[in-house]
A = this chain, B = another copy of it.
Amino acid sequence: MNKAEFNRLSRERVLYLDGATGSNLIKRGMPAGVCPEKWILDHREIMIGLQREYIEAGSNIIYAPTFTANRIKLKEYGLEKETRSMNRELIRLSLEAAEGRALVAADITMTGEQLAPMGTMDFETLISVYKEQITAVAQAGADLIVVETMMSLQESRAALIAAGEVCDLPVMVTMTFESDGKTLYGTDATTAAVVLESLGACAIGANCSTGPDKMMPIISEIAEAVSIPVIAKPNAGLPALNEHGETVYSMGEEDFVAGMQELIEAGASILGGCCGTSPSYIRALSDSCHGKEQMVRKEQLQKTDHRLPRRFLTSERKTLAFNLDSPFMIVGERINPTGKKKLQEELRSGSLSMVLDFAEEQEARGASLLDINVGMSGIDEKDMMLKILDEVTLASSLPLSLDSSHVDVLEAALRKYPGRALVNSVSAERVKLERLLPIVRKYGAMFILLPLSDEGLPANLDEKIALIEMIVQKASELGMRKEDIVVDGLVATIGANKNAGREVLETIRYCKENGLATICGLSNISFGLPERSFVNTAFLTMAIKEGLTMAIANPSQEMLVNAAFASDLLMNKEESDIRYIERMADYQARNPKVDPTLLRAAVSKTDQPARKEEKEQTGIL
């Protein structure tokens, strides 16, 4: 089955998965402490029998017993060299059980070894572990892949990347969430869903974790965020120990099914059971929906299709969701060595302390994203970018804008970045369209569309719009949507083009009317003028009026940021009044009223700014 076939099928109807495997095998004689995969291959008929029971009960997709058949887990039993052959055999077993009456999903999960920097495993090593297993299951004829019981978003990404690089099988991913609604590594359900959908998962959801009742908020969150089918495969309630010291689950078939109905209401359309469930749960579940599988799915899709289009950017732990009328956002511009001698020196010496300070400060001052640019001489830009990603993603929970003029730097950063990044930027230059855009698509990032080409800047607004439309079209041909794009207004300098301001404002208006988010660098507009912050601030205010979505700026510029909050208020954006009042409370706390008499005494004799290198405006002047 390829992805397109899976998408068609999963849009047509509600699908049933199977229930628990391990606990049912134990009941059927599998002893503790053995390698499950080995035992199964030694007791093929027991596994085949269980799977046929699931199919009889209604399962449309059964999970092949390859759950821990990765090289690292098998090594615990000295079986790592059998990885390929065992996976092949296990898939064949399930195909035999299915007899074409159900799809066989190769089952993948975590290896048990942590990724660096917390553990010692390298990200590329993990990808290669998954590639080995997935190559085998694909060769053996698995219909699709399910990556399940994942507690780490980054390990899920590794599995998805691996799958995409060795086969075209559809990949479903389900993660396991703690009672706080986050994974063990702190990722919330929305963030997981956004990242995995954009990276190419064909269905996304939760398994294990809890009973269906407690899974409700997670499934809701995921269903709100994604367009692909949502998977719910909860446990049969909460675990407890019975009088024999065995783990048992609290929820009977009836309550389980009632809970599953709620999850279907919330948007889940691929349904199964995890720990504590058995073929009878799946039977009860499929009976409860019997004959309504297509109607239910149709209603779900109607809801999904009528949502206001939203855009999502994420770090590993947090999602920034926005639409074209959302509060204005600032992309913190400070992590960029251009023109900053001190930062350059630090980076050359290998120190990231300024970078981390800038990250924390910009987050504290209200940045919604951080731009990361390490383009400078005397360092290996790719190495530095990856190093900074490791550190900044720990220091700040903000999503990142990955900013480089080198395609290979962006490729390495996108592969490694554990969230959904904004790529800065894709122009109509040939190398960007032909090399970078497919990479952006592969890693599911959003990108900043820069309307310039190998011929240089557009000569006028018509040319600019033609470039925008051309790049949007190219992205569309690769399967990307308008919601994946943020158009750079391409701000010229008033000193060089008196109409620079109006042209950008018209570009923003055009984009907003055509469903495209926008971004601007502000300061270029005022290059060469005195007291530039007044021009930048007025420009930002007008741009927000015209619909500007975000700007690259220093969030410590009080006047600029206050103007943005006031502009949102005037545009009557959601909660903009509360946000303005809160911002002003922060502002007042940072800027106690100055007694003008004392102020006069504080005026220095010199008219020159004290610092020359970093010309960043930190005050309101």
Q: Using a CB–CB distance below 8 Å, which chain A residues touch chain B?
A: 494-495, 498-499, 501-502, 505, 525, 529-531, 534-535, 537-539, 541-542, 545-546, 559, 562-563, 565-567, 569-572, 577, 580-581, 584-585, 587-588, 591-596, 598-599, 601-610, 619-621
Q: Which of B541, B570, B609, B620 contacts A621 (CB 8 A)?
A: B620
Please measure, in the bound complex, the distance between the C-alpha atom of A185 and the C-alpha atom of B22, giving whole angstroms.
Answer: 106
Please measure, in the bound complex, the distance between the C-alpha atom of A534 and the C-alpha atom of B603, giving whole angstroms.
Answer: 24
Do B595 and A602 touch across chains, with their CB atoms under 8 A apart? yes
Q: List 17 A-B contacts (CB under 8 A).
A: A494-B569, A502-B570, A529-B581, A531-B562, A534-B584, A538-B567, A538-B569, A538-B570, A539-B566, A541-B542, A542-B545, A592-B603, A593-B621, A594-B603, A594-B604, A598-B604, A620-B620
Q: Which of B584, B598, B599, B610 contacts A531 (CB 8 A)?
A: B584
Please, which residue of chain B has its CB at the minimum distance from the CB of A495?
Answer: B577
Q: Which of B499, B505, B567, B602 contacts A599 (CB 8 A)?
A: B602
Do B581 and A595 touch across chains, with their CB atoms under 8 A apart? no
Please measure, in the bound complex, the distance between the C-alpha atom of A166 and the C-alpha atom of B591, giving whole angstroms.
Answer: 66
Do A542 and B530 touch across chains, with their CB atoms under 8 A apart? no
Do A530 and B584 touch across chains, with their CB atoms under 8 A apart? yes
Please measure, in the bound complex, the distance between the C-alpha atom of A392 and the C-alpha atom of B545, giving whole angstroms.
Answer: 39
Do A609 and B593 touch across chains, with their CB atoms under 8 A apart? yes
Please, which residue of chain B has its CB at the minimum distance from the CB of A600?
Answer: B602
Do A588 and B607 touch across chains, with their CB atoms under 8 A apart? yes
List, in ascending order, chain B residues with CB within 8 A of A542's CB.
Answer: 541-542, 545, 567, 570
List, in ascending order, chain B residues with CB within 8 A of A494's CB.
Answer: 569-570, 577
9 tightest A-B contacts by CB? A501-B570, A595-B604, A598-B602, A538-B566, A530-B584, A541-B541, A602-B602, A534-B562, A534-B566
Give me 20 other A-B pairs in contact (C-beta within 8 A), A534-B566, A593-B604 excluded. Answer: A498-B572, A505-B570, A529-B569, A529-B580, A530-B581, A535-B580, A537-B541, A538-B541, A538-B569, A542-B542, A542-B545, A545-B546, A559-B620, A593-B603, A593-B608, A594-B602, A594-B621, A595-B610, A598-B601, A598-B603
Please, which residue of chain B has its CB at the minimum distance from the CB of A595?
Answer: B604
Please, which residue of chain B has its CB at the minimum distance from the CB of A604?
Answer: B595
